[in-house]
Each structure stands twice: as C-alpha cells, then as structure tokens.
Homo-oligomer: A and B are copies of this chain.
Amino acid sequence: MKSVVVFSGGLDSTVLLAKLIAEGRTCLALTVDYGQRHRREIESAKAICAALGGITHRVADLGALAPLWGRNSLTDATVDVAEGHYTEERMRSSVVPGRNLLLLATAAAWAFAERCDSLAYGAHGGDHAIYPDCREAFADATARAIALADWHTLALERPFVMLDKTAIVRMGAALRAPMHLSWSCYKGGAEHCGRCGTCIERREAFANAGVEDPTRYAPDAPDAGTLAKNGWKP
C-alpha cells in the first residue's frame, strides 16, 4: 500500500508517519510551505524523514499564495501569536481560512500522480472547534471530492480521528517515533517557547500520557509541574 502523508513535522503527523511505516506502507511525505512563521517545522520535517529512513519527502512551496490570505498570526509576522491554553478568542488569530482544503488538494495532486492508494493526515479528536476545517463533516466532504477528482480512486484516511493528543503521544512512545525531533511551537524560535497554545497542548499531552517530554523548552518557559497545577494556564 502506498500513501501520501500530509506531514507538517509536528507531533501528530510524526506519529502518523511512524505508524504507517510500522504497518509496512510505502510513504511519501509532503510538507507544505505556506509562508508560515514557524518555518522551523520544515527543518524538523526533514530531520524526521531522515530519522525514519527511506521516505520520499517533498516540500511544496505555496508561499506565493500568502498574499491571498488575510491577516493571521501563522503567516503574518505583524500579528502576535496568542499565548496560553487554546480558547476561541485567543486562537482565532491563528486561523488561515481554507488552509486544510488547500493542503489536502495539494497532497491529492501528488498522490494522483504517484498512483497512491491513499492520502493520510493527522486530524484528531482533540482538534478545536475554532478550526472549522478540522471538523469531521468537512473531512467527509473533502474525502468525497478527492474520490471524484480523478478516475484513479484515492482514499482520504484520518487514522487519528478518534484519538486525542494524549493517545497520540502514547502511540508515538510505543512506536518509538522520533517525537523529540518534532516541532509544535507557533512562535518559530530556536526552541519551543513552552507557553503558546500549541506548546501548552504538547506539554499537557506528554504529562497526561505519562511519557517523558523530550522537548527542549526555552529557559524562560514556565515549569510543567506549575503549569499542571494551574490547569495548564501559563
């Protein structure tokens, strides 16, 4: 079985890639450069593919589309990245409208050309209501559009749709996935800031999974024990 995996270099897609490889799949990993501020994740993606070995990895450059997008904290350096636990208000600024549709359409084009059986991505049960394109109904409609976009049948797989991030970390630990190489922080510094929404989620997932967090956080990041005591509010 041959699959294109939408691979950001983040925690979820790293575990997804490790899982599919462990199942004996031929995986083609696609990282999309959409002008994101946290470009560090692209370097992480390369390192993870090298660590997993034998994976064809491509970085698709969609940076030329950035002018089409509105102001948001992921692609526009003049918008602040929200700190603290995800809340609708805090994270609204990180929505890139229509991003997932574009990521999936790009991955589908490659998967069609490579005659893959499936296209897999790491949408999971923990994804937030603030991201409309993480909804199950969106994925169902997109799966149907992809299935009809070519004569060659291509399935859209979401193996983590019933899992939360804690379960994904547990799976990653069991698979010995190179989670230490993955990148989550939206701030895109040299180290994880340890206090933005994605960093807090990452830290919480490792803590709840009972798996040692291999991430190196910035020296001024709040301590995990303190965060846990405060209900993961920095």
Is the pair A133, B149 in contact by a Cβ cutoff of 8 Å? yes
Q: Is A106 a contact partner of B138 (Cβ separation < 8 A)?
A: no
User: Among the listed B58, B105, B114, which residue makes an inter-chain contact with A105, where contact means beta carbons less than 8 Å apart?
Assistant: B105
Number of interface residues of A (CB under 8 A): 46
| Proximity string of chain A (93-124) to chain B, C-beta cutoff 8 Å, 1 when within and 0 when not | 00111111110111011111110000000000
Interface residues of A in 61-108 (CB under 8 A from B): 61-65, 67-70, 95-102, 104-106, 108
A67, closest chain B residue (CB): B58
A96 to B108, CA, bound (A): 11
Interface residues of A, dominant DSSP = helix
**A144 — which chain B residues lie within 8 A by C-beta?**
141, 144-145
A137 at the interface (CB under 8 A from B): yes
Chain B residue nearest in CB terms to A72:
B113
A136 to chain B: closest CB distance in Å?
10
Q: Give the distance in Å from the alpha carbon of A62 to the alpha carbon of B58 in the complex.
A: 15
Write out the residue numbers on chain B whose beta carbons fall within 8 Å of the beta carbon of A145. 101, 138, 141-142, 144-145
- Complex Cα–Cα for A99 and B106 (A): 9
Residue A132 interfacial (CB < 8 Å): yes
A residues 175-208 in Cβ contact with B at 8 Å: none
**A208 to B102 CA separation, bound complex (whole angstroms):** 39
Interface centre among A98, A106, A137, A150 (most CB of B within 10 A): A98
Residue contact A148 to B137, C-beta cutoff 8 Å: yes
A146 interfacial contact with B, CB 8 Å: yes
- Specify which chain B residues have a CB less than 8 angstroms from the CB of A101 in the assembled complex: 105, 108-109, 145-146, 149
Is A135 close to B, CB under 8 A? yes
Given contacts A132-B149, A145-B145, A149-B133, whether A60 and B70 have CB atoms under 8 Å apart is: no
**Residue in B97, B108, B110, B138 whose CB lies within 8 Å of A109:** B97
Set of chain B residues within 8 Å of A63, measured between Cβ atoms: 64
Collect the chain B residues with CB atoms within 8 Å of residue A97's CB.
109, 112-113, 149-150, 152
A-B contact list, 23 entries, CB within 8 Å: A30-B68, A61-B65, A62-B62, A64-B64, A65-B106, A65-B109, A68-B109, A69-B109, A70-B113, A97-B149, A98-B111, A100-B149, A101-B108, A101-B109, A101-B145, A101-B149, A102-B102, A102-B105, A132-B149, A133-B150, A138-B148, A141-B141, A141-B148
